[in-house]
Structure formats: structure tokens, C-alpha cells
Amino acid sequence: MVACSSIGLLSSVLGVTPLKLVKSWQQFLKIVVLAAVFCLTVVLGNVSLAFIPVSFNQAIGSTTPFFTAILAFAMQGQREVPLTYASLIPIMLGVIVASGGEPAFNVIGFTCCLAATALRALKSVVQSMLMTDPAEKLDPMSLLLYMSGVSVAFLLPMAVMLEPTSFREAGALVAASPSFLYWLVGNSCLAYFVNLTNFLVTKFTSALTLQVLGNAKGVVAAGVSVAVFRNTVTVQGCLGYAITVAGVFLYSESKRRSKAAAAAAAQASATRASNDVESKAEREPLLVSGSAAQPNGKTFFRG
């Protein structure tokens, strides 16, 4: 978050991206809520990793589209076509199957991860509201700068109080291996671009699409976790992941069909409007000056 604040502020000072000012205290309060939800999401996600493996964490996280769909409807009134909602069923089913076959199940880890998943959905909806609502209309870079600044204000005192030795330990790691600092800075800078693209996808698509696309990342992360950390995954767990991936592809297909249907409907409406104008012009009566017997009568066309 320090890196996000620094990069965002630097780009604004250099004039690379103009900074949109916060319009009101109500808008600032929404940004504070967004930052608080983001911090809780990260903290609970990290706590869950102390009790459950990354593969299981990612499987639970794939339920985020389900929570996002509910919150987007409740908070924004955003509706999807029935096929899109139906595509969320295999995503949920896949998680249930994978959870039943998870050998490292832990109640604390599962609860923290599920709470983080629901908060991640809330974060997506709130950031979507701040960027797409006509009354808000913050651009992604400005919103990221404000959110990261408030997040630092939340996280720094918590780190000092709850982990007082963490900064000294980090200094010792840097002293023992200077490359650690480069990895830390590089990772923090990448986090800026991850969050920025996250906001851009939300702005130009929707909060639900963002979370469904994130499930593809989750499956990859689960595979890398198994390859690197040698986590045990049962056949039932693999079946659950496969069902989740199938749900992601079904969602993508439903969105593609919905978009194509909307475009076809718009084109048909435009064609009907054009035909109505032409038909009206053909039926329009002629105005003739003089009588029909007079050869010099002038004919006028209306339209």
C-alpha cells in the first residue's frame, strides 16, 4: 500500500495522470469503507493460510462470484440473465466437492477464508460503485491512490502494535541478504499494477466479471501450490477444481451470448425504426395543385 500510494502520488505530481479530488465527506467515507474492507480481506486471507493450504484457500475463494452477484443486486440493482446466474452453480458445486475431499480441512482456516471471500466481493461492488456511479465517477488511478493512503493509515499502527518486532526482523533479513529488499520492493511495485488492472477491469466490465476471471487465476495458483509446496490433493479435490473451471467457461459463454443478443436487439430496433420511416414516406399522400385535367398542375412530395 505504501508502494501504491507513492507511485500514484508521483504519477499525479509529474502530470502523468490528473488526480480527481474527493467531492464530499460521503464519498470519502465510502473510500474509507473500501480501504477497511480491503485490509480485512488481506488479513483474513493471510490468517487462513496459517491453517489451510493454498490450494484449498483458492478453492474457497472461487465462491466470490456468488457473493458478488448477491451484493451487486442488493446494492446496485444489477441484474444478469438467467444463464449467467446458472453458471455460478457449478462454481459453487466445485468448491463443495473440493472441500469434501480436502485432507487438510480446518474450521478456523475455512471460516477466515470464507469471510475474506465475502469481503472481497463487497470490495468489488463498492469500488464499482465509486467508479461507475454518475454521482461518484472516480477514475481507477485516483481511487487506488486514495484507497492505498487510507489503507496505510489502518495497517501501519496495527503492524506496530500487533507485530512490534516485524520491522527489526525485516531489517535483519535485508542485512543478511540484500536481495531480499529488491524482491520486496519489486513485489510491492507489482502490487500497484495488480490493483490498478483490478480497478480497470471493474470499471469497464463489472464486479461480477472481475471475480469470475479471478477464478482462473485461482486454479493456476492451486496448481502451482501443489507443484511447489507438494500439497496433497485427492481425486475428489481435482474433480471439484475441474467443475469450478467448467463453471468459469460457462459464465464466459453466457456473457458472450448476452452481449451478442443485446447487440442484435439494438440492431433490430434500429432497422425497424428505419423501415418505419421509409414506410411512412411511401404512404404519405401527394399534394397536387390544380385539377387532374390540367396538364400543368404541379406535384409536391411531402417528407
Q: Mind listing the pLDDT tens digit for each residue in 124-160? A: 888 888 888 777 778 888 888 999 999 999 999 988 8
Position 265 scores a pLDDT of 82
Q: What sign results for the dihedral spanned by CA atoms 195, 218, 84, 42?
A: negative
Write down the pTM of the prediction: 0.68
Position 41 scores a pLDDT of 92
Instruction: Tell me: pLDDT of 279 over 70.
Output: no
Q: How confident is residue 297, by pLDDT bands cut at 50, 70 and 90? A: low
Instruction: Tell me: pLDDT of 49 over 70.
Output: yes
Position 57 scores a pLDDT of 78
pLDDT in tens, 13-31: 888 778 888 888 888 999 9
Half-sphere exposure of 65 (CA within 13 A, CB side): 33
Position 150 scores a pLDDT of 93
Q: Looking at residues 237-255, what average pLDDT do you find?
A: 77
Higher-confidence residue of 295 and 280: namely 280
**b or e along 17-56 (b: 16 or more beta carbons within 10 Å of the residue's beta carbon)?**
eebbebeeeebeebbbebbbbbbbbbbbbebbeebbbbbb
Position 245 scores a pLDDT of 75
